[in-house]
A and B are shown apart, each in its own frame.
Chain A
Amino acid sequence: MNMVEKILARKSGQKSVAPGDVVLADIDLMCMHDLSANFVMKVFEHEMEGASIADPNKLAFAFDHNFAPATREAAEALAAVRRFAKKHKVKNVFDSGCGSLHHVIMEAGLVTPGMIVVGCDSHSPIYGAIGAFGTGIGNNSMAALGFTQNKGWFKVPETIKIHFHGTPMKSVMPRDISQYLVGKLGEDGAIYKALEYAGPYIESLEVNDRALFPLQAIDVGGKCGFVNPDEKTVRYVQRLFASKPSVPEFEMLANDADCRYAEIVDIDVSRIEPQVACPPTVGNVKPIDAAVGTPINVAEAGGSTGGRLSDIRALARCLANRRIHPDVRLQVVPASRDIYLAALKEGLFETLHMAGANIFPPSAGSNQAFNMGALAEDEVMISTQARNFPGRNGHPKARHFLASPLTVAASALTGKITDPRTLEVQ
């Protein structure tokens, strides 16, 4: 069995499972952002009237879309979730300004290897980067089965292994590689499948960068994505608990040597150029040449696939002692308060401020344009966000390109989409 199969077997009380089996498994953590917490709560109250929450400690809410609610309706929704949390003794509530859902949950140490984590959010596979099974589910699964019984039904997926090797070119970042994979497999290339990211390139990455890969599992239709846990996983988890009295016990359920794959895909990362996902979809991924020269209005480092400390550092490296193009608004959105503090202490915000950037509160940033990031007709954004579907950021005719933080920074400097390899970076 591989890691995912072992976790699903363990959590459903079985010795072994095989792809195609349907299991009813115990869930360790259920996470929701402000939007999904609000509607799951409504489903729970309306559909499961009188039911109680089996274990409120297994719920976690992070208000990441509304970092400072801009409408009365949004304020009411947040207030309703806070009341619900109080009433049902849900203590893992991370309020507005805390950061981006999954980053907040990871940093809070709520997830350890071997767990099953479900989220009312399609980027929930991220937890596969630290040896857990994570997947996105809807309101009913969460409210009806999760809230009341800590359980969920899962079909055991087949697994596709992606074997990455080689050393990337200068200025090519993990986001370029993960995005390249989306383009290569296609938006329906892995429907219902688990994706395992392996090989020397993945082994060389730290957990934070590995996380970009399962984060984008959904973009190829995947059920989950994972990296076989190793000593880097253990070190990451130990660091999470460095300031706490002890590290909770956890079990590393790593792959058996003889696990089976539906398919094995080989990727030489040394041949991959910077990649951009062009409008209108996440799967429309092209080498950067296809978009170079497109004038931009907004550039952003933020969102569940951006706003990490490494992203902000890359931005600062590129923009130090420079000034962004006068037609561009550059938005920097740290993914958590810890990242905000670290960036502040390192002086990255001063560098970026002097370059002309605006620093926003830790949040999901321009994702779906709740508190920021709406575009006018024909405006163009380039960002590290996860989605670029038309209408998601204001006008349906606005265009949104997704790229690495270095490409975002290089484009902010010149005012048009720019290959970061053409710029001197400190």
Chain B
Amino acid sequence: MQDKITGRVYKFGDNVNSDIIIAGRYLIYIDPVKLAEHAFEMLGEGFPEKLRSFDILVAGRNFGCGSAREQASTAIKGLGIKAVVAASFARTFYRNAINDGLPIFECPAVYDAVAEGDEISIDLKKGVISHAGGEHEFPRIPESVAKILELGGLASYLKSTLELDREATA
């Protein structure tokens, strides 16, 4: 995973559920491009397109609550979103995002400090999110989890560890 993620922020409130992120009728898809066409479409016409002009989602508490569907994080990745920063995440979303290779960060202070359109920078090495108005620390991602994100998700991670095992025993 890269050391820094930088970009413009789109801001959501508390308890954004996974039905809002991607409706149940699209769960027949797993392709990020296809899912992204319908991501957040409940929020109004043209919403998925609008989100594509932003890079990072910032949200309040319990982002991704409700259904356990992993397509929620896949759809967000498909929009070209590089990271999600929230005051807190629903546990299924947190788990799915990591397994899906979508970087996510818990940092309640950022939510109050930034507005839509602000540019923020997430420094993964230092564990700091900075913007024009200041800096906020966030708990650094555990190494095992960082490794999964770096390889783009759990499936790639497991394949690479299997390959490493094979090389080691070859």
Contact = CB atoms under 8 A, between A and B. Distances in A.
A174 B42 CA distance: 33
Contact of B30 (A74, A139, A396): A139
A161 B67 CA distance: 24
A223 interface: yes
Interface residues of A, number: 46
B141 interface: no
A178 B71 CA distance: 29
A145 B154 CA distance: 8
A143 B157 CA distance: 13
B65 A188 contact: yes
Contact of B99 (A136, A138, A192): A138
A221 B62 contact: yes
B168 interface: no
Nearest to A367: B24
Interface in A366-416: 368, 370, 387, 389-392, 396
A122 B28 contact: no
B27 interface: yes
B146 interface: no
B19 A137 contact: no
Nearest to B90: A221
Interface string B15-42: 1010110011101111000000000001
Interface string B82-102: 000000111110011001100
A141 B61 contact: no
Interface in B144-160: 144, 153-156, 158-159
Given A39-B71, A391-B19, A188 B155 contact: no
B69 interface: yes
B100 to A, nearest CB: 6
B62 A191 contact: yes
A38 interface: yes
B24 A188 contact: no
B55 interface: no
Contact of A120 (B28, B65, B68): B68
Interface stretch (A43-51, A204-212, A238-246, A322-330): A43-51
Given A140-B153, A283-B15, A391 B158 contact: no
A60 interface: no
B90 A138 contact: no
Contacts, number: 127
A145 B24 contact: no
A36 B25 CA distance: 12
Contact of B88 (A139, A148, A188): A188
B43 to A, nearest CB: 9
A144 B92 contact: no
Nearest to A39: B30
Contact of A122 (B61, B71, B92, B155): B92
A138 B95 contact: yes
Contact of A387 (B27, B66, B91, B159): B66
A389 B17 contact: yes
Contacts of B14: 188
A249 interface: no
A282 B18 CA distance: 13
B67 to A, nearest CB: 5
Given A140-B99, A389-B66, A368 B61 contact: no
Contacts of B70: 39, 120, 138-140
Contacts of B61: 188
Those 5 A-B pairs whose CB atoms lie nearest each other, nearest first: A138-B70, A188-B62, A140-B99, A47-B155, A138-B96
Interface of A: 22, 35-36, 38-39, 42-43, 46-48, 73-74, 77, 119-122, 124, 136-141, 143-145, 148, 187-188, 191-192, 218, 221, 223, 281-283, 368, 370, 387, 389-392, 396
